[in-house]
Structures are given as C-alpha cells and as structure tokens.
Structure 1
Amino acid sequence: MPLGYLFGGGVGAEPHGIELYEASPLVRRLYEEISGWTGLTAEGILRGELPAGRERRQSAGTIREAALAVAVHDLLAEAGLRPDVVGGLSLGSMTASTLAGALDRRSLFTMLARTADAPGPGPADADEGMALAFVQAEDAQSPPPWQGLADVHLAGDFGPVVDGSRRILMLAGHRAAIEGLAAVSPPGAIVPLPGRDIAVHSPLRQPFRDFIAPHVASIPFTAPRIPLLSCLERGELKTADEVRDMFERNPTDPISLVDVYEGMRSHDVRLGLVMGPAIPEGILAFPFPVVHVERPEHIELAVSTAYDLGIEFAQTDSGTRDG
C-alpha cells in the first residue's frame, strides 16, 4: 500500500524541531552536519533569532524548515517507514528532491546558505507582500478580482478546505496593490500576510532567480530513485534535467499543492505523512488520510497509523540517508 511524503514550503520563522533534537541522537548528528555545511550553529538552526536583512533572514529560515523535514524523514526511516512517492511545495519540493536521491544533502543546504548573499531590493523598489485569497466554491470559475492587476500575481493554489466551501490561493506582488485589493474585497476574502515581504513565486523574484541560477547549474543532479512529483505543474520529475528545471523555475513560478496530492492519488497513495508544520493541519482537503509529523509523539502516531493501514515497513538499520 503506497505511502506518500508531503513537504511544505515557507520559512521557519518560529523555533522548530527542538523536541526531536533533544530526544534523538540521530537528529543531533544531522544538525551538526547541517551546521558544517551552512555555517549556522545547531542551536541557531533550532531556535536562534533570524538575522536581519531580507535575504539573510529568508536563507536562515529555509535552512531551519528543511532541517526539520529531513530530521522527520530520518526518524521515520529509523522506525522502518520509507516513502513510495514524495513531493512538496517550493522549499519542500527541493527537500523532497533530496530525499528522492536527485541531489545530496550537502548540495541542498549549501544552496540554501548561498541564498543569504542574494541582492535585496533597491531604495527605489516598491515594497513587496503576500496574501491569502479565500475563494468561495460558487465563484471558482469566475474571473478573480486580481485579474488584470499588473502588480498582483497568483503565486500558489492550496486547494479546497475540508468542507469544500472555499479554495485557498496565495497572492504575491507589490504590498500597496495587495493591500488595496484587500480593502475593496469582501471582508476576509483577501488577507495580507504580516511579515511576508518577499513576493515569492512571482515575476518579482526574477533577480533572485538570476542570482542563484549559476549555483543551481553547478549542482550534480541525478534521476530520482523514487517517484518525485512537481509542484509547478501536474506530473512526475523523472530525469536530472527535469529536477534542475524545477529548481531553476521555483523562485518565479506559481506552486500548487493540488498538483502534488493529485499526483499522489494517481500513484494510489493511501496515507500521506506531512513533514513539519508548513502545511496547516485540519484545514485543507486531501484525497487520502494524512498525519502531520513535527514532534516525537507524531512519529509514534505515524508509525501506528501506517501499521493499522497495512503499510509495509522496511528493514530498519543505520542507513536512513536517501540523499
């Protein structure tokens, strides 16, 4: 019975992974490795205050988020659970690629550390922002209120909520345009996100994409060893070139959780394990049961749920590293 792993995107602004780190020597060894690759201390990755500067803060936050996701993966592997198919959103898609064997861990974390040096906005550049858009189900086929606005872009699709009444989308663009759109929309329809000052997955990230492109070009990608789903369009990434293309396009192209979980459904996934807290629990509809894994007790829940559903367990040994 196929098991899918879902990796969220976002930035780990809040402390993550402390309970797992304190409980597991395996996780402590992993964080020491990541520290050596990134120059951040293990304590800083876990709970340090994020540095000043937009891109430096983003870099440290992505390292924090990816470290927790990899730690959860390794603890599940230690317990005998290994995914049959993986996929994720944004940062999560890159973490999933690593754990599918398309690049090694050092390459992922070195790249995330390198992004700290990306150029920030200039003094004449407009402030950037993000928002969530809540679209009523009956309006799903109507033109969205941001259509035709040059400074607001569709950045992501998280799909319908559990009761099917609304669909949650993500918008990115100039902050003033997003706030102006929220002001003329029905209450709660457009919700600007405080503290989100980078218009990810939009054309405004082209300078960042140009900056990181040479580093991505130098990464020795390989074909994934297990099915790896794209979040940029519906489909599976089967070759090294396809994974590299996803890394290159990720900063500027919109993402879709629906593409990932529908891809998992096409692989007959019967249980999804969500790595870390980046995908909110209990809000979104999934076509199969999901367990969110972030703390030690969640590992036990994931294992018991998999056992109850008849998921096959792997032989456990010290070889928890897939990437």
Structure 2
Amino acid sequence: MALGYLFGGGVGTEPRGLELYQAYAVMRDLYGRISEWTGLSTGQLLDGELPEAREERQSVGSIREAALALAVHDILAEQGLHPEVLGGLSLGAMTASSLAGAVGRRELIAMLAHGAHAPGPEADAPGQGMALAFAPDGTDVAALAEHRPGVHLSGDFGPTVDGSARILMLSGERTALEAMAAELPPGLITPLPDRPIAVHSPLRADFRAFMAPHIDAMDFREPVLPLASCLEPRTLTTAEDVRDLFHRNATDPISLVDVHTRMAAEGVRLGLVIGGSIPDGILRLSFPVVHVDRPEHLEQVLTTVYELGIDLPDRRVTP
C-alpha cells in the first residue's frame, strides 16, 4: 500500500506554517534559500501583507504556498516519510512536479516569481472573478455555465462525503458570475470575494502567452515518481507531459477527481493533504487522508501510517 502526497492549489492569502517554521530548522533553511532566490523576506513568505497589484499579489501568494508545501515535504522526510505517488491541483500540480523530480525547486520558484511581471488587463476590460457552486445531486451546473456568456467551468472538486452535492469552481467575468448567482436558487452559486482573477479559464490566455517563453526555457525531466495530472485522468510520464501541464495550467479547467482517482490507481491507500484549498472532511476522496500544516499533525500522520500498514520504502528524489 502506497503513501501519496496530494497538494492543494490556490494562492496563500492567509498566513500558514508559522508554527512549523518555528519548530523545524529544515523549514527555516528552505525559506532562507527561497528568500535568496526571490528577494522576498522570510516574513513575506510567512505572514507578511501581500502586494496590492494583481499579478504581483498572485505571484507572491503562489511562492508562499509552494514554499510551505515544499517545507512540509522536507519535514516529513526528516521523519522518514517519502511519497510514492504525487498529485496536486493547479499550483499544487506544479509543486508536485518538482517533488517528483521533473523540475528543480529553484526553477519552479523562479517561474512563479516571473509571473509578477505579467501585464494586467486593459483598463476597460471586464472585471474578473471566481465562484463556488454547491450543486445538489441532479443539478448540472456545468451545463448551466456552458450557455452563459462570460462564465466558465474551471474546476471540479467532486462530490461531498454524503453524496448530497458536488462542488465545482466557476471563473469568468465578475458581473456574469454575480448575475448567474442571483438568478439561481440561493446558495447554489457563491461568488468569492477578493478573487479578481478568472483562473483556469480562457480569460487567462494573455497570462499563458506571457509565461510561455519562460516555461519553454525551463529544464523539465521525466518524473521519477508517478505524477497524477489535474487536467485529465492520466499519469504524467515524460518531461514534455510536465511542460504541457505548466503551459496549460493557466487556462484549462482542473479536476480533483482526476487527481485522486489516478493516485488510487497507482496504489495510494493513504494520502497526506498539503495546502489549504482541499477542505478537511468535506469531499469524497478515493483513499483516507490526513491534512498536514501544523506540528501536531505529524503525530497523527505517523500513527495513521502505522495503523494502516503503509509501506515506507526510501524513494527519495533529489530536490
């Protein structure tokens, strides 16, 4: 039975990881290196205010989230825990790619830092936004979104534990999302405040084009560990598979269902969830999981690994 690491996506707008930073030297060492690579202080990486400018805020928040994910991996490695299968959503997929040996950590962080220089939208462009849909069983939100100009299905988080609803993510023009929410039954669509970027939608085409030359110049390698895609139900096996994921991530919809079902097919029987965008205890996943972002979670991880009899071969990947 294999141990899998499942990384959430999103941008680290809320401070997390301070207790881990204080408790583990390996995390302090990593944050010191990332600070040298980016010019960001450790305070900015941990709990500092994010920049106001849209793309710069997205960039720094992404670096913050990736740094925490890498640090949790390194802390677990000190405890003798190493993943056999990796997967993630969006930013989490790119972080997982690095931990699978497909791209260097410094290159990953440099790519996220490069995004800060992307040009913002034109002054007269429609405002962008995101929303979550809590679709009761039998409600086809994807079909509803398909026929609404300015609204795009951008993510599928799958069914809730009790099967009563499916949680989806919508992205698009803010006014179109708000209009859709107002016209449908209350609670079905919830626009998210302070989310001014229509992630995983065609509205990010300009950002994808800006990032393309940088991604083309990156040194991708064949993953050493099985790496589940969040863009389709498959395992990425070549360097070009991973490069393609990095290119498409900005504009293509993501699926948590594709990730965890593929990880289960690769033998995962316990997943460690790293990253705040995968809520604890709400979604139905293909294997039991333990969320890890506080020191006290480590004891729970070790206990669960022992109780389930998870194999722990030493499959280290060079950072």
| TM-score band, normalised by shorter chain | over 0.9
Correspondences of 1:1-323 after superposition (within 5 Å): 1-140=1-140, 144-314=143-313, 322-323=318-319
Cα-to-partner distance string for 1:142-181 (whole Å, 9 max, x where unaligned): 8632221120000000000010000000000000000000
1:122 Cα deviation after fit: 1.2
Say which is worse superposed, 131-140 or 191-200, in terms of deviation: 131-140
1:37 Cα deviation after fit: 1.3
Give the structure-2-normalised TM-score.
Answer: 0.97
Amino acid at match of 1:183: A
Structure 1: gaps (5+ residues): none
Q: CA–CA distance in 1 between the matches of 2:266 and 2:43?
A: 39
Say which is worse superposed, 255-264 or 304-313, in terms of deviation: 304-313
Q: CA–CA distance in 2 between the matches of 1:102 and 1:21?
A: 26
Q: CA–CA distance in 2 between the matches of 1:111 and 1:143?
A: 32
Amino acid at match of 2:186: P
1:314 Cα deviation after fit: 4.5
Q: CA–CA distance in 2 between the matches of 1:277 and 1:303?
A: 21
8 Å CA contact retained: 2:100, 2:317: no
8 Å CA contact retained: 2:3, 2:83: yes
| Secondary structure in structure 1 of the residue aligned to 2:144 | coil
Q: CA–CA distance in 1 between the matches of 2:48 and 2:194?
A: 18
Name the CA shift for 1:39/1:187 in 2 (closer, same or farther; >3 Å).
same
Say which is worse superposed, 93-102 or 278-287, in terms of deviation: 278-287
Q: CA–CA distance in 2 between the matches of 1:303 and 1:201?
A: 35
Amino acid at match of 1:283: I
Identity %, equivalent residues: 59
Q: CA–CA distance in 1 between the matches of 2:114 and 2:91?
A: 14
Q: CA–CA distance in 1 between the matches of 2:104 and 2:230?
A: 20
Q: CA–CA distance in 2 between the matches of 1:295 and 1:269?
A: 23
1:311 Cα deviation after fit: 1.5
Q: CA–CA distance in 1 between the matches of 2:118 and 2:20?
A: 31
Q: CA–CA distance in 2 between the matches of 1:55 and 1:272?
A: 32
Number of residues of Structure 1 aligned to a counterpart in Structure 2:
319
Q: CA–CA distance in 2 between the matches of 1:25 and 1:122?
A: 44
Cα-to-partner distance string for 1:238-291 (whole Å, 9 max, x where unaligned): 000010000000000000000000101111211010013221111111121100
Cα-to-partner distance string for 1:73-97 (whole Å, 9 max, x where unaligned): 1111111111111000000000000
1:301 Cα deviation after fit: 1.1
CA RMSD of aligned residues (A): 1.3
Q: CA–CA distance in 1 between the matches of 2:272 and 2:297?
A: 10
Q: CA–CA distance in 1 between the matches of 2:32 and 2:97?
A: 21
| Secondary structure in structure 2 of the residue aligned to 1:248 | helix
Give the structure-1-normalised TM-score.
Answer: 0.96
Cα-to-partner distance string for 1:211-243 (whole Å, 9 max, x where unaligned): 111110111000000000100000010000010
8 Å CA contact retained: 2:132, 2:189: yes
Q: CA–CA distance in 2 between the matches of 1:322 and 1:137?
A: 44
| Secondary structure in structure 2 of the residue aligned to 1:146 | helix
Q: CA–CA distance in 1 between the matches of 2:256 and 2:298?
A: 23
| Secondary structure in structure 1 of the residue aligned to 2:235 | coil
